[in-house]
Amino acid sequence: MSPLQSTPSAKLVRTPVSDLPRYYLDYAATTPLDPRVLEATTPYLTGFQANPNSLHTSGREAFNALEEARHGVCESLGAHDPSEVIFTSGGTESDNASITGIMAARKSGKPAHVIVSAIEHHAVLEPARRLSAMGHKVTYLKPGRDGLITPEMLASACTPDTALVSIMYANNEMGAVQNIHDLAAVAHEHGALFHTDAVQALGKCPMGLEELGVDAASFSIHKIYGPKGVGILYLRRGTPFVTQMPGGGQESGLRSGTQNVAGAKAAAAALVLAENGRDAENARLRSLQTRLVEGLLATSSRVRLVVDPREHPDHYLPNIIDITVDGCESETMILRLDSKGFEVAAASACSAGSLEPSHVLVALGIPRDTAFGSLRISLGRQTTEQTIDAFLDAFPSAIR
Ligand code: PLP
């Protein structure tokens, strides 16, 4: 057990998650497993589980459990048909499969035009970079200083050759939420398909996929209090797609590999919990976010918000606060806060050993020097007012 886990302040945890560190404020990176998700999953983890593709009785039982989970996911995500739901290993796989699989299905062998936003996760940017290496033209569409991409911005980037547009629903660093419905409509008007990385939006933003009108979407279950290594790829019926995982033909030939029935069950359970409590939890998080933002701004004039979620709350996630602190480096702040038991993140690639500032902050026009002093604080179900106040007490010593 880590020293953090043995402190008496574990009392601050709102619902019991016994091994959560004392002041965990990195929910955008991952969330703790909800005990109710574990309970729903346990029968499929313990005891013998047959291969859901086997024809015998045990195999058919496993298949039925898998399909029941697929129906549940379809309903929670507002998809039209369970066949549009493909289980994957996470957000990264779903993003890669969408970008690469849709482009591989193009009938014409001619290079095409692809638009991705400049603030995408690397799970979208990297496959886009590969498309460019293959000869396709890739436009990296920058948002405004507020982190938002308007339909007009997208329309002016589209060309008659645009085959695919990928714009994330909610950003993982500064929390901007895009108007996916209208952006997808613009892509379609220009004859392009539309994918959205909805990993951070899941459980926070309305998810009626059929109504949103997207052709493909990516999800990750560990961001909504489910296990890691479980994801969903939504492919609207009729979306041209060539599998990136050929093999035994599972998932209707769209993603081969013996399915993770327990993971699928966990996804269905985590989604029901996230959707049922969404409005109340969003309101609770929003008030914690405002408390934190106001406390941080009052601490020092060196603290600046990357975007201000208070201005247009509908355009920003309620659980992410991204700041920069003049004269302080992210890593120093993270380590100082960590030594006091607060676990936060930097909105930069420094975790990967890179000396580059966050591409998201740079895309917003934030100077590189300022971007090196970024800090992302992300809240979740176990965050309380006391957690925020304790963080605000500790913060001045981290930026001294
Ligand atoms: N997309 C976004 C926006 C994310 O925040 C993440 C994870 O941080 C991913 C994709 C990758 O998801 P996974 O960790 O399930 O591969």
DSSP for 212-243?
Answer: HT-SEEEEEGGGGTS-TT-EEEEE-TT-----
> Which among 294, 329, 328 has a CA at the least distance from the CA of 308?
294
Active-site option among 74, 158, 328, 350: 350
pLDDT by residue for the chain (400 residues), tens only, comes to: 333 233 333 333 344 455 666 799 999 999 999 999 999 999 999 989 999 999 999 999 999 999 999 999 999 999 999 999 999 999 999 999 999 999 999 988 899 999 999 999 999 999 999 999 999 999 999 999 999 999 999 999 999 999 999 999 999 999 999 999 999 999 999 999 999 999 999 999 999 999 999 999 999 999 999 999 999 999 999 999 999 999 999 999 999 999 999 999 999 999 999 999 899 999 999 999 999 999 999 999 999 999 999 989 999 999 999 999 999 999 999 999 999 999 999 965 444 455 689 999 999 999 999 999 999 999 999 999 999 999 999 999 999 9
Q: Distance between CA 373 and CA 323 in Å, rounded?
A: 8
pLDDT at 22: 79
pLDDT at residue number 354:
59
> From atom 10 of ligand 1, which residue's Cα is the shortest distance away?
91
pLDDT at 47: 83
Expressed in angstroms and rounded, the spacing between residue 93 Cα and the centre of ligand 1 is 9
Q: Hey, whose CA ends up nearest to atom 9 of ligand 1? A: 91
pLDDT for the residue 18: 54
The ligand 1 atom nearest the CA atom of 30: 8
Residue 304 confidence (pLDDT): 98
Beta bridge partners of 323: 305, 375
* Ligand 1 mutation pick, 223, 233, 378, max ligand atoms within 8 A of CB: 223
Q: Which residues, in sequence order, are bridge partners of residue 197?
A: 218
pLDDT of amino acid 74: 98
Q: Which residues pair with 303 in a beta bridge?
A: 325
pLDDT at 356: 84
Q: Is 350 a catalytic residue?
A: yes
- Atom index in ligand 1 nearest the CA of residue 95 equals 10
Q: Whose CA is nearest to atom 13 of ligand 1?
A: 91
Q: What is the pLDDT of residue 1?
A: 32
Is residue 97 helix, strand or coil?
helix
Q: Is 282 left (phi over 0), alpha (psi -120 to 50) or beta?
A: alpha
For ligand 1, pick from 199, 200, 351, 360 the residue to mutate: most ligand atoms within 8 Å of CB: 199
| Residue 352 alpha carbon to ligand 1 centre in Å | 15
Distance CA 346, CA 344 (A): 7
Q: How far is CA 202 from CA 51, 181, 221, 331, in A?
A: 29, 15, 9, 28
3-state secondary structure of 350: helix
How many Å lie between the centroid of ligand 1 and the Cα of residue 197? 8
E strand residue ranges, 118-223: 137-141, 162-166, 193-197, 216-220
Gyration radius of the chain over CA positions: 21
Contact (Cβ atoms closer than 8 angstroms) between residue 298 and residue 394: no
Beta-bridge partners for 324: 304, 374
Which residue has the CA at smallest separation from atom 8 of ligand 1?
A: 29
Encode pLDDT of 344-376 as tens digits.
999 654 444 556 899 999 999 999 999 999 999
- Give the number of the atom of ligand 1 that is nearest the alpha carbon of residue 220: 15
pLDDT of residue 6: 33
CA of 199 relative to ligand 1 center, distance in Å: 6
Which of 200, 228, 351 gets mutated to test ligand 1 (max ligand atoms within 8 A of its CB)?
Answer: 200
In ligand 1, the atom with minimum distance to the C-alpha of 168 is 3
The pair of three-digit structure tokens given for residue 79, joined into one six-digit string: 């998809």
Atom nearest to 29 CA in ligand 1: 8
Ligand 1: centre distance to CA 219 (Å): 8
d(C-alpha 316, C-alpha 170), whole Å: 8
CA of 159 to the centre of ligand 1 (A): 29
* Ligand 1 surroundings by CB, under 6 angstroms: 90-92, 95, 121, 123, 168, 172, 197, 199-200, 220, 222, 231
Beta pairing partners, 113: 137, 162
Atom of ligand 1 nearest to the CA of 171: 3
* Cβ proximity of 102 and 131 under 8 Å: no
Residue whose CA is at the smallest distance from ligand 1 atom 14: 91
- C-alpha closest to that of 200 among 345, 333, 342: 345
Distance (angstroms) between ligand 1 centre and the Cα of 121 equals: 7
In DSSP notation, 279-305 reads: HHHHHHHHHHHHHHHHHHHHH-TTEEE
Q: Report the nearest-CA residue for atom 12 of ligand 1.
A: 91
Ligand 1: which of 89, 122, 172 to mutate, judged by most atoms within 8 Å of the beta carbon? 172
- Which pLDDT tens digit goes with each residue over 228-252? 999 999 999 999 999 999 999 999 9
178 alpha carbon – ligand 1 mean position (Å): 17
